[in-house]
């Protein structure tokens, strides 16, 4: 069974009504990124940071998987599919994808500030000041903030290095270290880029098939093509 790796960014979630992590005006929602998404912001005003991510969690819960999420889940009928996502929502899982690696964390989980590896699935929309782990440490959103290490980069490199087919969906390839992952794709792999914007790609993506479309339009097309190709083998 061929291995497909889908590397997804904010563009796939935006079509479910979730805003991208940073709009053109440099704001995240109406907040400065430095005020809500850095370790310094947490030290300075943890209540504001919690409020911001509580809002994002509510938005995620209200959102629904779109045609692109559903198409990727359907690809598992004929391929071994791994999703590597920069998004912190759970739309891939809710669409039915079995193997999802979240590079930047998960909005519906909380992390202990005392023991970073101590994680909790949230059964409510909010984390409040005073919500603690069993060791007494304040809970924070389980997300990777600007300036923090992205822990799953080695695992993501390994997955992409074994890809027979790579789908790059809804990402500008401007956010590092995640953007550098495409350099680990084998040269002989099939490569697809699906994004309506002009995305600069390196020579490593020679042979790339570029669909300059939104995810909900382009992803089902590529998935149907791959499913039909598999039937012909």
Residue 172: how many other CB atoms lie within 10 Å: 16
In whole angstroms, what is the distance from residue 204 CA to residue 183 CA?
6
- The predicted pLDDT at position 70 comes to 98
Cβ pair 17, 89 in contact under 8 A:
no
Cβ pair 41, 34 in contact under 8 A:
yes
What CATH code would you report for 1-18+64-104+149-233?
3.40.50.1220
In whole angstroms, what is the distance from residue 5 CA to residue 113 CA?
32
In whole angstroms, what is the distance from residue 225 CA to residue 130 CA?
51
In whole angstroms, what is the distance from residue 111 CA to residue 133 CA?
8
Is the pLDDT assigned to residue 25 strictly greater than 60? no
Active site residue 104: yes
pLDDT higher at 230 or 210: 210
The pLDDT tens digits for 178-222 are 778 988 999 899 999 999 987 777 655 677 888 999 999 999 999
> What pTM did the predictor assign?
0.92
- Where along the chain do the CATH 3.40.50.1220 domains lie? 1-18+64-104+149-233
| Straight-line distance from the first to the last Cα atom of the chain, in angstroms, rounded to the nearest whole number | 11
In whole angstroms, what is the distance from residue 142 CA to residue 47 CA?
15
- The predicted pLDDT at position 142 comes to 98
Is the pLDDT assigned to residue 30 strictly greater than 80? no
Can you give the chain as a three-state secondary structure string? CCEEEEEECHHHHHCCCCCCCCCCCCEECCEEHHHHCCHHHHHHCHHHHHHHHHHHHHHHHHCCCCHHHHHHHHHHHCCEEEEEECCCCCHHHHHCCCCEEECCEEEEEEEECCCCCCEEECCCCCCCCCCECCCCCEEEEEECCCCCCCCCHHHHHHHHHCCCEEEEECCCCCCCCHHHHHHHCCCCCEEEEECCCCCCCCHHHCCCEEECCCHHHHHHHHHHHHHHHHHHC
What phi-psi label fits residue 151: left (phi over 0), alpha (psi between -120 and 50 degrees) or beta?
alpha
The pLDDT tens digits for 135-176 are 999 999 999 999 999 999 999 999 999 999 999 999 877 777
Q: Sorting pLDDT into bands at 50, 70 and 90, what band is 26?
A: very low
Q: What is the CB-side half-sphere exposure of residue 8 using CA atoms within 13 A?
A: 32
- Catalytic pick among 69, 92, 104, 142: 104
- The predicted pLDDT at position 29 comes to 63
- The predicted pLDDT at position 3 comes to 97
The pLDDT tens digits for 74-111 are 999 999 999 999 999 999 999 999 999 999 999 999 99
What CATH code would you report for 19-62+108-143?
3.30.1600.10
- The predicted pLDDT at position 233 comes to 47
- The predicted pLDDT at position 21 comes to 57
Cβ pair 102, 124 in contact under 8 A:
no
- Where along the chain do the CATH 3.30.1600.10 domains lie? 19-62+108-143
- The predicted pLDDT at position 232 comes to 56
């Amino acid at each position: 069974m061929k291995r497909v790796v889908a590397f997804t960014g904010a563009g796939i979630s935006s079509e479910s009504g979730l805003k991208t992590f940073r709009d053109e005006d440099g704001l995240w929602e109406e907040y400065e990124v430095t005020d809500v998404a850095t370790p310094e912001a947490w030290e300075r005003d943890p209540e504001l940071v919690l409020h911001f991510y509580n809002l994002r969690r509510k938005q995620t819960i209200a959102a629904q998987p779109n045609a692109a999420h559903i198409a990727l889940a359907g690809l598992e009928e004929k391929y071994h599919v791994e999703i590597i996502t920069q998004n912190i929502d759970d739309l891939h899982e809710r669409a039915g994808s079995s193997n999802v690696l979240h590079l930047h964390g998960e909005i519906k989980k909380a992390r202990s500030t005392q023991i970073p590896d101590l994680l909790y699935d949230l059964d409510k929309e909010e984390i409040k000041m005073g919500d603690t782990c069993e060791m007494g440490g304040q809970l924070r959103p389980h997300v990777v903030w600007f300036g923090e290490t992205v822990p799953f980069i080695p695992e993501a490199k390994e997955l992409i290095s074994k890809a027979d087919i790579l789908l790059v969906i809804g990402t500008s390839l401007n956010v590092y270290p995640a953007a550098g992952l495409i350099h680990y794709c084998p040269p002989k792999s099939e490569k697809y880029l699906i994004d309506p914007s002009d995305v600069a790609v390196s020579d490593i993506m020679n042979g790339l098939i570029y669909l300059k479309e939104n995810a909900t339009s382009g992803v089902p097309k590529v998935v149907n093509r791959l499913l039909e190709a598999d039937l012909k083998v």
